[in-house]
Amino acid sequence: KIPIDQRGNAIIIEQNGEILAIAGIVTCDLSKSQKNDIMYNKLYIQNLDR
């Protein structure tokens, strides 16, 4: 979430209509399905190795 006072001045980085980042604001991209799938698969592989 972006604080109300920062919304008007936010610099939004987008490509093909998809927001990639908001400059100056830390966001977590694990909500993106591709990153989430990568993390899940790594954790699954680590569990299999044990």
pLDDT along the chain (50 residues), means of 10: 76 80 67 62 64
Looking at residue 30, its pLDDT comes to: 53
Looking at residue 47, its pLDDT comes to: 67
Looking at residue 29, its pLDDT comes to: 58
End-to-end CA distance of the chain: 38
With a threshold of 0.75, does the pTM exceed it? Answer: no
Cβ distance 13 to 22 under 8 Å? yes
Looking at residue 24, its pLDDT comes to: 72
- Sequence-distant (6+) residues with CB within 8 A of 35 are 29
If you ran DSSP here, which 8-state letter would residue 12 be given?
A: E
Looking at residue 15, its pLDDT comes to: 82
